[in-house]
Amino acid sequence: MGKIQLNLSVVNRFGVLVRISELFARRGFNISSLEVHETSDPDVSEMTIVAYGDDYAHTQMLRQLGKLHDVISIK
């Protein structure tokens, strides 16, 4: 199975990491690595997630993450 890298801008608020990692767990997607750090904007954090999955999983990850209100943008 291939690896997928997702770069997210998220709201910098407690619980956001749980919300995002829970989505991966709930949908059955395995995370290979996850890194999160603050940015120069105190309201925004950046997240880099590498996860296992095929094209189907990739599309689902993008679309399901896109529904979370704490996710500002996905690259």
Interface with another protein (CB under 8 A), residue from 18, 28, 35, 75: 18
# residues contacting another protein (CB under 8 A): 14
Binding flag, residue 63, another protein (CB under 8 A): yes
In this complex, which beta carbon is closest to another protein, that of residue 40 or of residue 55? 55
Interface with another protein (CB under 8 A), residue from 2, 3, 22, 41: 22
User: What Å distances lie between residue 18 and 5, 13, 26, 45, 55, CA to CA?
Assistant: 19, 11, 12, 14, 24
Q: Which amino acid is at 68?
A: L
3-state helix, strand, coil in the chain (%, to 5): 30, 40, 30
In this complex, which beta carbon is closest to another protein, that of residue 48 or of residue 64? 64
